[in-house]
């Protein structure tokens, strides 16, 4: 497969990241829950398709029923296309993600980011976590270790450089993510042989 799906809460910087990855401009600021057309992108030779899957219940101001519907749509899409999906990129806001996860946990809810991470694993897609907005994070290693902990990975985060990718999409500092995607692509090609 050669499809890369991006998922994440609104405002984490998904459209900024898509723009950096593809060189195209995407207006994902439209109505929450409106699934975008798949976007084709030539990268490192092969024809990659990036699919921005919005929502997954992340939108504030969207009623519960609608949120559940969006989540169901996302899950269905990923399940139906799992064979073609080379990578699932969960985009999070490095500055806010720990607080958000812990707040949900405190309320007895399963945090959506954690849920999505495990969901991708469950359907056989090894998730890549693009930890965005690292320009706003001072205690970088500590923050990334905390994120590992919340996702059920044992720190230190440096063990997971193909999974945990600290980036700053706004300034185009996305090398860790590009390198993880390139590695996935090589692995997939090798498996095809």
**Shortest separation between residue 89's beta carbon and ligand GDP, angstroms:** 12
Total chain residues near ligand GDP (CB under 6 A)? 15
Q: Does 39 bind ligand GDP (CB under 6 A)?
A: no
Q: For residue 4, give Cα distances in angstroms to 14, 32, 99, 149.
A: 13, 20, 27, 25
- Closer to ligand GDP by CB, 94 or 185: give it: 94
Spatial contact of 119 and 78, defined as CB atoms under 8 Å apart = yes
- Closer to ligand GDP by CB, 178 or 187: give it: 178
Q: Does 132 bind ligand GDP (CB under 6 A)?
A: yes
Q: Does 51 bind ligand GDP (CB under 6 A)?
A: no
Q: Does 69 bind ligand GDP (CB under 6 A)?
A: no
For 153, phi and psi rounded to 5 degrees? -105, 145
Beta-sheet strands, E only, within the chain = 3-7, 39-42, 47-53, 85-93, 127-132, 164-166
Q: Which residues bind ligand GDP (CB under 6 A)?
A: 10-16, 28, 132-133, 135-136, 168-170
């Amino acid at each position: 497969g050669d499809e890369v799906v991006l998922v994440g809460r609104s405002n984490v910087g998904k459209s900024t990241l898509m723009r950096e990855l593809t060189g195209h401009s995407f207006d994902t600021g439209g109505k929450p829950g409106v699934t975008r057309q798949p976007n084709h992108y030539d990268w490192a030779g092969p024809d990659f398709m990036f699919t921005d899957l919005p929502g997954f219940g992340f939108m504030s101001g969207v009623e519960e029923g609608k949120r559940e519907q969006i989540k169901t749509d996302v899950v269905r899409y990923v399940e139906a296309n799992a064979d073609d999906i080379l990578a699932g990129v969960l985009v999070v806001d490095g500055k806010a993600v720990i607080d958000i996860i812990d707040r949900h946990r405190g309320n007895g809810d399963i945090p959506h980011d954690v849920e999505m991470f495990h969901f991708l694993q469950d359907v056989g897609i090894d998730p890549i976590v693009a930890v965005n907005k690292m320009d706003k994070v001072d205690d970088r290693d500590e923050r990334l270790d905390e994120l590992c902990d919340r996702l059920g990975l044992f720190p230190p985060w440096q063990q997971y450089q193909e999974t945990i990718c600290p980036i700053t999409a706004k300034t185009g500092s996305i090398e860790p993510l590009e390198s993880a995607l390139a590695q996935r692509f090589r692995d997939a090609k090798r498996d095809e042989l």
